[in-house]
Amino acid sequence: MEDVNKQKTHKISISNRRTCNISGVSDVLSFDVKEVILETEMGMLMMKGTQLHVNRLTLEKGEIDIEGSIDSITYSEAVSGGKQNESILSKLFR
């Protein structure tokens, strides 16, 4: 059987700052109406905005669709992987 999951591609598509489709998502660390934090193939991604809603999440395919008013998207090289990295992550994004 082929090793299909070596490295997935990561892609973001934003339409009118209202809808966002993201591929290459490996985990959703947290989300609420003001902030979504994702682990992607290219590092941690933090999206800020207002009235953010996750419309579709398919971790098997690594895809997520988010709707709302998108204010910013920021990447970090931090990688989630346990309690030690959680403290680093919380320092980066809080």
Residue 53: domain span: 11-93
Give how many domains the chain has, as a whole number.
1
In a domain, 46, yes or no: yes
What is the model's pTM?
0.74
Q: Could you tell me if residue 34 is inside a domain? A: yes
Domain assignment present for 4:
no
In a domain, 1, yes or no: no
Q: What is the CATH number of the domain that holds 53?
A: 2.60.40.2000
HEC states along the chain? CCCCCCCCCCEEEEECCCEEEEECEEEEEEECCCEEEEEECCEEEEEEEEEEEEEEEECCCCEEEEEEEEEEEEEECCCCCCHHHHHHHHHHHC
Q: Residue 29 domain-assigned?
A: yes
| 24-63 pLDDT, tens digit each | 999 999 999 999 999 999 999 999 999 999 999 999 999 9
